[in-house]
Amino acid sequence: MGANENSSAKPRVRPIVRLGIFLISHSNIVSLVCFLAGVVALLLLPVLAKNTYISENALMPGSANNMLSTHHVSDANKFIKDLTDLELRSMASPIESQKLIAQYMSALDAEVTFHKFYPQFSQFHPLHFFTSPDSGIISKNGTCSSFGVNTVGIIRAPRGDGKEAIVLVTPYNPNKVGLGEAVSLGIAYSVFSLLSHATWLAKDIIWFVADSQYGEYSAVASWLREYQAPVFHKVDIVTSETCNESSTFDELGQGLYLDGKLNGDFRRAGTMAAALVIKVAEQGNQYEDSLNIYAEASNGQMPNLDLINIVNYLAVHKQGLRIKVKKMWSLLDSWWLNTVGIIFESLGKIARSLNPQWKFGIPASEYVEGAATLASSLYYQGLGVPTGPHGAFRDYQVDAITLEISPKVSLTKVIRRNEFILRGGRLIEGVIRSINNLLEKFHQSFFLYLLTSPGKFVSVGVYMIPFALLVAPLPIVAAYLHSNASSSTPQNPSTLGVDANHKSWKWLNSARKVLIFHLWGVVVSLLPFFLCQLPNTTPTMNFILWGFASAFSLLILFFISGCPIFEAAASQPEKNRWTSLKSVTISTTFIGLSLMSVINFATAEIGALLIVPICLLARPLKLDIQAKSWRTLLRASCNIALGFVLFPPVAFVLLKGAFEDFYGINVGDYWNWVESLWAWNSATYLYVGVVHLPSWALCIHILFHPC
């Protein structure tokens, strides 16, 4: 840097300060360069992705031969047949199938228990937002008639000390057992029957058959709550005396009291090491057997990469399954992404022609695939909503993933099904054996990563760069504006002393306004709690009410604070007030984004991509129109467009339209989306309410600033 040369001559100002001053004085070009670099770096991520590798040597996946034989598979087939026959025979009682499962479990010498739960419906608890799920929230709307029964079988490891356990989860709906669910139970059963005789087992195995009639997640979550944070004193409104149905639950246990293997109380088996959720997709995907991995838990938390690596390794190298992670399908055939891919490919070719050592650049098709996967990985992490029942485990720091196996052809043919169960079972067996080998909890590999394909990932060190580049201009521009605002007040020689005093505190006025907007953001994000209390409302109505209430609350807040929303006539010293307002806005946005990056990085990354341009560009329209040059007019139109697009509901509709289609979108959808966010305690909801919305509103405020 050229400034360094001067350091010897001018020791008064140190180089670092000088660099800062330089950056601030060139904030326009710096911010432009940083922002563009940030976007380019984001686009480069699929290129920079590394191949995954198994970091923990103790896992040793695939080092042992599979022990699961056709013998176990035929047992599983019998089990599936019994289960589906039962479905055909007696439509009346779903309890029969649970009984059957328990019988099969206890025949394997497993300890069997039933866990009865009342499903918890999503509710917005503003005060419980960040608290852990064990805070004793008791369902208020659970009724006697609606309860689910989970069946849990535990194999105690022979010679094990019982300190740790591995959990297998198979969700199924006892009211309507589909073939896919039955097969997933069959796979779990084949593995379970193998493990009941396995001598190498060091950790206990829990097979948890979740009753998914009220949703897979709620069944798993309620069992985990009981496992990890039980409430001993039963003070619910749902007591056993008032419920007739509890007798059917008791009756469930009656027939099964087989030599002490089953009794009513809840069973535990040590600290959970990992959990696998097994699902089987009903319809096949024509080409080959494939495996979908879902890993995202709440607030963008991911399981340890090693868990995905084992599954990936075993599925690809041992069982020959085609492995998949979620993709944004709409991105796959977007022309611009293809263009970017082709550009990167040709750049890579040029680089390689210069020096064959530079392994830069991947084929365009691969790039597009990677980008689509990365986008979906970012999106689902950013959303903060778990993508399956495995999310419940992550809340208790247990690594878990959902494996969805989809067969090539329909599973109705028995021979085909046998082979399918054998493959699935061997995969699960291998994964369990690997985890069983591990003496420690998963800690060796990454927890913060984005997947660009099942075998490639972008680690935190790399994906932080685009974000840092995106938000870097914010403090620089804020400092520039601040110095600008404080220096360019009109020099009035008579009131210089007063002015100097007034000048240094001027930003407080703007800070107050910014604070009011942020308060408003908090109020807006709390409003749904009260709207939920209203009976019989449609999402559309709720949304409209919410909008009105928000606008009204903004007016009230300004009325209370005694600060005019729009200064009617800007006096001469107030003229540059908007710069100081913008400066404070930008700094709060920066703080908000930085905080969010700690909580949920993906949200912060997407949020930065959206909010940073308008924060940088915002400038009163009046000034731009007065100037009447093509540049200012372009900027004004850009500002208007961005201001419109970034209004959260509009942004939601546009994104939804871009990734799905515009057909059938109505206003209520936004409400539904927001509802799902708060129901899952997603921090994204807080981000949208407390950071994005006020920042957007302040930018709009600056746009229409009279000066």
Q: Does 140 bind other proteins (CB under 8 A)?
A: no
CB of 124 closer than 8 Å to CB of 679: yes
Which of 89, 233, 628, 631 lies at the binding interface for other proteins (CB under 8 A)?
Answer: 233
Which of 66, 69, 103, 632 lies at the binding interface for other proteins (CB under 8 A)?
Answer: 103
491 vs 132: CA distance, rounded Å = 56
Give the DSSP letter of residue 401. Answer: E
Nearer to other proteins, 232 or 505 (CB): 232
557 vs 500: CA distance, rounded Å = 31
Query: Which residues ranging from 400 to 429 are in contact with other proteins (CB under 8 A)?
Result: none
CB of 270 closer than 8 Å to CB of 204: yes
Which of 88, 127, 145, 159 lies at the binding interface for other proteins (CB under 8 A)?
Answer: 159
How many Cβ atoms are within 10 Å of 40's Cβ, its own excluded?
12
CB of 452 closer than 8 Å to CB of 49: yes
**Token output for 386:** 């778990």
Q: 174 burial class (0-12, 13-18, 19+ CB within 10 angstroms)?
A: buried
CB of 144 closer than 8 Å to CB of 242: yes
Q: Which helix (H) or strand (E) holds 589?
A: helix 577-599
Question: What φ, ψ does residue 489 adopt, rounded to 5°?
Answer: -70, 145
CB of 611 closer than 8 Å to CB of 645: no
Query: Which residues ranging from 177 to 196 are in contact with other proteins (CB under 8 A)?
Result: 193
Query: Which residues ranging from 460 to 499 are in contact with other proteins (CB under 8 A)?
Result: 483-484, 487-488
Nearer to other proteins, 251 or 440 (CB): 440
Question: Shortest distance, CB of residue 359 to other proteins, whole angstroms?
Answer: 16
Question: Shortest distance, CB of residue 207 to other proteins, whole angstroms?
Answer: 14
403 vs 388: CA distance, rounded Å = 10
CA distances from 691 to 531, 557, 661, 683 (A): 21, 18, 28, 11
Question: Shortest distance, CB of residue 22 to other proteins, whole angstroms?
Answer: 7
Nearer to other proteins, 131 or 410 (CB): 131
Nearer to other proteins, 289 or 429 (CB): 429
Query: Order of strands, edge to edge, in the sheet holding 164-172?
Result: 111-117, 148-155, 204-211, 164-172, 271-280, 399-406, 290-294, 322-325
One symbol per residue from 362 to 401: x for binding other proteins (CB under 8 A), - otherwise; what is it?
---------------------------------xxx----
Q: Does 11 bind other proteins (CB under 8 A)?
A: yes
Which of these ranges, 2-10, 113-121, 142-150, 279-287, lies near other proteins under the rule CB under 8 A? 2-10
Q: Does 160 bind other proteins (CB under 8 A)?
A: yes
Task: Number of helices (H) and strands (E) in the chain: give both, helices first.
Answer: 26, 11
450 vs 373: CA distance, rounded Å = 9
Which of 51, 355, 357, 572 lies at the binding interface for other proteins (CB under 8 A)?
Answer: 355
Which of these ranges, 42-50, 162-170, 180-188, 245-253, lies near other proteins under the rule CB under 8 A? 162-170
566 vs 429: CA distance, rounded Å = 67
Which of these ranges, 87-95, 253-261, 560-568, 695-703, lies near other proteins under the rule CB under 8 A? 253-261
Nearer to other proteins, 484 or 509 (CB): 484
Query: Which residues ranging from 49 to 78 are in contact with other proteins (CB under 8 A)?
Result: 71, 75
CB of 116 closer than 8 Å to CB of 152: no
Q: Does 9 bind other proteins (CB under 8 A)?
A: yes
The length of the chain in residues reads 707
Which of 43, 44, 73, 108 lies at the binding interface for other proteins (CB under 8 A)?
Answer: 108
213 vs 211: CA distance, rounded Å = 6
Q: Does 3 bind other proteins (CB under 8 A)?
A: yes
Q: Is 142 left (phi over 0), alpha (psi -120 to 50) or beta?
A: beta
Nearer to other proteins, 201 or 372 (CB): 201
Kindly provide the b/e burial profile for residues 5-33, where b requires at least 16 CB atoms within 10 angstroms of the residue's own CB. Answer: eeeeeeeeeebeebeeeebbeebeebbee
Which of 288, 333, 440, 660 lies at the binding interface for other proteins (CB under 8 A)?
Answer: 440
Question: Shortest distance, CB of residue 234 to other proteins, whole angstroms?
Answer: 5
**Token output for 639:** 């500002």
Q: Does 88 bind other proteins (CB under 8 A)?
A: no
Nearer to other proteins, 97 or 213 (CB): 97
Q: Does 247 bind other proteins (CB under 8 A)?
A: no
Q: Does 4 bind other proteins (CB under 8 A)?
A: no
Nearer to other proteins, 275 or 646 (CB): 275
The residue count for binding other proteins (CB under 8 A) is 66
One symbol per residue from 16 to 55: x for binding other proteins (CB under 8 A), - otherwise; what is it?
--x--xx-xxx-xx--------------------------
Q: Does 541 bind other proteins (CB under 8 A)?
A: no
315 vs 455: CA distance, rounded Å = 11
Q: Does 116 bind other proteins (CB under 8 A)?
A: no
Question: Shortest distance, CB of residue 321 to other proteins, whole angstroms?
Answer: 27
Q: Does 230 bind other proteins (CB under 8 A)?
A: yes
Query: Which residues ranging from 199 to 218 are in contact with other proteins (CB under 8 A)?
Result: 199
186 vs 100: CA distance, rounded Å = 13
Residues that bind other proteins (CB under 8 A): 2-3, 5-6, 8-14, 18, 21-22, 24-26, 28-29, 71, 75, 103-104, 107-109, 132, 134, 156, 158-164, 193, 199, 228-230, 232-234, 258-261, 265, 268, 270-271, 354-355, 395-397, 439-441, 443-444, 483-484, 487-488
